[in-house]
Amino acid sequence: MKQVVCAVATRGHRILLARRAPGEHLAGHWELPGGKVEPGESLAAALTRELQEELGVTAKVGAEIARSVHHYERGCIELIALATAFDGEIAHLTVHDAVQWYAADGLVDLAVAPADIPLLDVILAGIEN
C-alpha to C-alpha distance for 102 and 14, rounded to whole angstroms: 5
Pick the CATH number of 2-128 from 3.55.40.20, 3.30.420.40, 3.90.79.10, 3.20.20.150: 3.90.79.10
Buried/exposed 1-17: b ≥16 CB within 10 Å, e otherwise: eeebbbbbbbeeeebbb
Residue 85: Cβ within 10 Å count:
14
pTM greater than 0.85: yes
59-to-25, 28, 84, 85 alpha-carbon distances in Å: 24, 25, 7, 6
pLDDT exceeds cutoff 60 at 129: no
Which has the higher per-residue pLDDT, 11 or 45? 45
Distance CA 68, CA 120 (A): 11
**What are the pLDDT digits (tens) for 49-83?**
999 999 999 999 999 999 999 998 888 999 999 99
Q: How confident is the model at residue 25 (pLDDT cuts 50, 70, 90)?
A: confident
Query: Sorting pLDDT into bands at 50, 70 and 90, what band is 128?
Result: low
* pLDDT score for 51: 96
Which has more confidence, 77 or 125? 77
Residues contacting 66, CB < 8 A, separation 6+? 80, 81, 118, 119, 122, 123
Task: Taking residues 81-104, report their average pLDDT.
Answer: 92
Asked whether 74 and 4 are in contact (CB, 8 A), the reply is no
- Give the mean model confidence (pLDDT) for residues 23-45: 96
Expressed in angstroms, the distance from the first to the final Cα of the chain is 33
Q: Would you kindly state where each structural domain of the chain is located, as residue ranges? A: 2-128
Mean pLDDT over all residues of the chain?
92
Residue 104: predicted pLDDT: 84
